[in-house]
Amino acid sequence: MTLSEQLVALIKETSLEVSTEQISLLIQYVELLNKWNKAYNLTSIRDPKDMIIKHIMDSLMVGPLLKGQSFIDVGTGPGLPGIPLAILYPERNFVLLDSLGKRITFLRQVVFQLKLENVTPVKSRVEEYHPDQPFDGVLSRAFSSLIDMVTWCEHLVSVEHGRFLALKGIYPSDEISALPSNISVTNSYAIVVPQLEGKRHLIELVKS
């Protein structure tokens, strides 16, 4: 089974609508990631077939839960979940933030080769990055805890409608109970990723 066939089969297990062109872009991204990973060590996952499940599908399944037009993926690493989501939603804008130069170099190459006009890679530490406009959503699967995420990223979302969207494994009850009083959980979603072992949750938080 080719990578394209694998991805198409997995998407058929979901309610996602992904075009043939988007499938092609997602596969090109995996191929670039696999190629660059040999020299740059961008991800611990070495097998492209595993990348399809653990990186691409894991990112895409968040898509239907997004609200708004502008998002920042903090600690994006090699572009996860930002790149797959930007491919799925070309009408939305994504800033991919990371402090490591080699990751941003890789992401600039991805943006160039895939002609992704809605993606802006930025090399910066999160506390030093101050956008002209706040974002509708802060996405991340990089933070060790929810309190770290809201503390470091509080300046990136608007009070009116901005959301923190944290990708977690098991439901983080202890982390939620430790949140400061001005942060509340508005939604939590159990995400089912086809063929992925283990639990996945998206925790949606707002600040008051």
Q: From the CB of residue 186, how many other CB atoms can be counted at a distance below 10 Å? A: 10
179 is in an annotated binding site: no
- Short-list 151, 144, 86, CA closest to 117: 86
Beta bridge partners of 206: 184
162 is in an annotated binding site: no
Measured distance CA(128)–CA(110) in Å, rounded: 24
Strand segments (E) across the chain: 70-74, 93-98, 119-123, 137-140, 163-168, 183-190, 201-207
Buried b (16+ CB within 10 A) or exposed e, 52-85: bbbbbbbbbbbbeebeeebbbbbbbbbbbbbbbb
Cβ atoms of 156 and 138 within 8 Å: the answer is yes
126 is in an annotated binding site: yes
| Binding-site annotation, residues for S-adenosyl-L-methionine | 75, 80, 126-127, 141
Binding residues: 75, 80, 126-127, 141
